[in-house]
C-alpha cells in the first residue's frame, strides 16, 4: 500500500497574520505534504486589510518555506478545499472557547463535505492572541513586537495612518 499525498488548507481571515498563525504553519509543515494558507473573506468581520494585502503579507513571510503557499478565496471553506483537492482542513486552537466553536465547525464540515479537520494547539505564548486584539492594540498605540512579525507591524502602522 503506497503513501497518500496529503494537502491541507489552513483557512482564516489573517487580518493581520500573527506570530500565533506562523507558529501553527511552522509546526504543521512536517505533518503534511503541502500546506495552503487560505485567506478568506468574511461578511461578518470588519476587515482592515484587503484580501490581496493579506496574501502579500503572508507570501513575504512564507516565501522560504517548502511546500507552503498562500491563496485567497471567497465562499465556503469546504468548496475551496474541494477545488484545491485538499484532504484536510487545519485549524489552530488557542483556548477552550475555540474548542467548542471549532468542534461544531469540524463536525459540520465532515457531515457536509466529508473533509477531516486537524487541530494544532498554538504555543502557550500565543494562546491569548487574535487578529482582532492585534488591530485594537495597534489602534491604541500598543507595542506589538512580540505578537506579529516586523513587516506586518510596519504594514499595520501604515494602514492605520492612512485611514486616520
Three-state DSSP class for residue 111: helix
- Is 123 a catalytic site residue? no
Q: Reply yes or no on whether 45 is catalytic.
A: yes
Taking the CA atoms of the chain, what radius of gyration do you get in angstroms?
16
All structural domains of the chain, each given as residue ranges with its CATH number in brackets, are 7-163 (3.40.50.620)
DSSP 16: T
Q: Which of 13, 54, 91, 94 is catalytic?
A: 94
Q: What is the pTM of this model?
A: 0.93
Q: Is 94 a catalytic residue?
A: yes
Q: What is the pLDDT along the chain (164 residues), one digit of tens a residue?
A: 667 899 999 999 999 999 999 999 999 999 999 999 999 987 777 889 999 999 999 999 999 999 999 999 999 999 999 999 999 999 999 887 788 889 999 999 999 999 999 999 988 888 888 898 999 999 999 999 999 999 999 999 999 999 87
The pair phi, psi for residue 115, each rounded to 5°, is -105, 140
159 given a catalytic annotation: no
**Widest Cα–Cα separation across the chain:** 59
Catalytic residue among 42, 45, 95, 157: 45
- Length of the chain counted residue by residue: 164
CB atoms within 10 A of CB 1: 3
Q: Is 100 helix (H, G, I), strand (E, B) or coil?
A: helix
Amino acid at each position: 500500500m503506497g503513501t497518500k499525498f496529503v494537502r491541507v488548507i489552513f483557512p482564516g481571515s489573517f487580518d493581520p497574520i500573527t506570530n500565533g498563525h506562523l507558529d501553527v504553519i511552522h509546526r504543521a509543515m512536517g505533518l503534511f505534504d503541502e500546506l495552503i494558507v487560505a485567506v478568506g473573506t468574511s461578511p461578518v468581520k470588519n476587515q482592515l486589510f484587503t484580501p490581496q494585502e493579506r496574501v502579500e503579507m503572508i507570501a513575504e513571510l512564507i516565501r522560504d518555506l517548502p511546500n507552503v503557499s498562500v491563496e485567497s478565496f471567497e465562499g465556503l471553506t469546504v468548496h475551496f478545499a474541494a477545488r484545491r483537492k485538499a484532504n484536510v482542513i487545519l485549524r489552530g486552537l488557542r483556548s477552550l472557547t475555540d474548542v467548542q466553536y471549532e468542534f461544531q465547525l469540524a463536525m459540520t464540515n465532515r457531515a457536509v463535505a466529508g473533509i477531516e479537520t486537524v487541530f494544532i494547539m498554538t504555543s502557550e505564548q500565543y494562546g491569548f492572541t487574535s487578529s482582532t486584539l492585534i488591530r485594537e492594540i495597534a489602534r491604541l498605540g500598543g507595542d506589538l513586537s512580540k505578537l506579529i512579525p516586523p513587516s506586518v507591524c510596519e504594514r499595520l502602522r501604515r494602514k492605520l495612518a492612512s485611514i486616520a
